[in-house]
Chain A
Amino acid sequence: MLGHEEGPALQTDAYIDALLGRHAGLPVVVPGPEMLPPTAMRRAIELLERALPRVHPSFLFEARLATQLRAAAGGATTAELPLGELVVLPPRELAGVAAAGGASVGTMDRRLLVGGAIASGFSLAGAAAMFAWRRSRSRRRWLD
């Protein structure tokens, strides 16, 4: 039943592989003309590769769940845990956010949404700094 679609599906997959590889800066095998999917398919693949954002949870949620997991793992109690910490994002995602600020739409990296809101490099750094600042303030209040 899938037999007649296997050839075109392989072409589609090879093209997706090449695009994702290029995106990640990996050496890619560019399919030859006979292996390329039709133009309309290529446009659709390029749209999906370019337009679908990665969604990142909010820093507060990430820190809260980390606390719950530590407690469930039998680690420190919540009172012993540090009040806040910066989450280091994988460099590729940060690079993507930075690229989105200056690149043309054709080469724009995938957008990154934090929680559900889109983040620019500036707002992402700002949110992280604000989070760290607020946590350090609240910690200081506890210590005072």
Chain B
Amino acid sequence: MLRRGKGLQAPRLTPHDADRPAVEAARRDPRAFEALYRKYVAQVYSFAHYELRNVQAAEDVTAQVFMRALAGLPGFREQAEPPASSFRVWLFQIARNTLSNERRRARRHPEASIELAEMMPATDDVAREVAARDELARAWEAIDRLPEAGRRAIVLRFVHEMSTREIGEVLGRTDGSVRVLIHRAVRRLARQLERDAD
């Protein structure tokens, strides 16, 4: 008979990580890692580009992240218990750490940043292009002024469409604190937009 004891816990279901088959395939044969790379290269690059504003630096960080992920894959464990981890969360944790190292390096060796808003080519519809450029510049400016954690949370939420739970796992925070972080960042932008309108 099954008795409830101190060490006995009800089995918990592990939510299925959609990447599990690809991760297992890559564990068996590292060459299969390419499927995961193809799936996530744009997301990691985008995350790095938002942080560093420099194509070369974003490429370097992206390369480091995937090289580290490939090397570290045997040690990766998907888990449902806190701190929960899916492959995507794990990859973004590597990206966050790599970016922190890169930012420390960049502070020592500052380089000119590239503004995304300046890189938009002209189109035939000048008025719309100007409005879009202005809009992008305002959003970009607002993000620029945010503290690091707020900026990362906004990029992960809006660009990568992560849930607050996933963002919490990447940033090492609770779900609730990520929601508040995002709320404060949006409130800051809202106030700035109101000031601009006056």
A residues adjacent to B (C-beta < 8 A): 2, 5-6, 8-10, 12-13, 16, 20, 24, 38, 40-41, 43-45, 47-58, 61-62, 65-66, 68-70, 72-75, 87, 89, 93, 105, 108, 110-111, 113, 115-118, 120
Query: Which residues does chain A contribute within 8 Å of B157, judged by CB atoms?
Result: 16
Determine whether the beta carbon of A69 is less than 8 Å from that of B67. Answer: yes
Determine whether the beta carbon of B66 is less than 8 Å from that of A65. Answer: yes
Listed by A's residue number, 19 A-B pairs whose Cβ atoms lie within 8 Å are: A8-B183, A9-B179, A44-B187, A51-B136, A52-B158, A54-B42, A55-B45, A56-B42, A56-B46, A57-B58, A65-B37, A69-B37, A69-B70, A74-B30, A87-B38, A89-B42, A105-B135, A116-B114, A117-B119
With beta carbons under 8 angstroms apart, the residue of B41, B55, B70 that contacts A72 is B70
Closest-by-CB residue of A relative to B45 is A57
Confirm or deny: B59 has a beta carbon within 8 angstroms of a beta carbon on chain A. Answer: yes
Closest-by-CB residue of B relative to A87 is B38
Closest-by-CB residue of B relative to A119 is B121
Confirm or deny: B171 has a beta carbon within 8 angstroms of a beta carbon on chain A. Answer: no
Annotate B186-198 by CB proximity to A: 1 below 8 A, 0 otherwise. 1101110110000
Could you tell me the distance between the alpha carbons of A47 and B139 in the complex, rounded to whole angstroms?
Answer: 7
Determine whether the beta carbon of A48 is less than 8 Å from that of B189. Answer: yes
Determine whether the beta carbon of A57 is less than 8 Å from that of B139. Answer: no
Could you tell me the distance between the alpha carbons of A55 and B130 in the complex, rounded to whole angstroms?
Answer: 20
Q: Please, how many residues of chain B have a CB less than 8 angstroms from a CB on the other chain?
A: 58
Annotate B3-32 by CB proximity to A: 1 below 8 A, 0 otherwise. 000000000000000000000000000110
Q: How many A-B residue pairs have CB under 8 A?
A: 157
Query: Which residues does chain B contribute within 8 Å of A44, judged by CB atoms?
Result: 142, 186-187, 189-190, 193
Determine whether the beta carbon of A54 is less than 8 Å from that of B186. Answer: no
Query: Which residues does chain B contribute within 8 Å of A20, judged by CB atoms?
Result: 158, 161
Determine whether the beta carbon of B186 is less than 8 Å from that of A48. Answer: yes
Minimum C-beta distance from B59 to chain A (A): 5
- Main secondary structure, interface of A, reads helix
Determine whether the beta carbon of A5 is less than 8 Å from that of B59. Answer: no
Given contacts A44-B190, A73-B70, contact A118 B182 (CB under 8 A): no
Closest-by-CB residue of A relative to B132 is A105
Confirm or deny: B177 has a beta carbon within 8 angstroms of a beta carbon on chain A. Answer: yes
Given contacts A6-B180, A65-B62, contact A113 B194 (CB under 8 A): no
Could you tell me the distance between the alpha carbons of A115 and B45 in the complex, rounded to whole angstroms?
Answer: 9
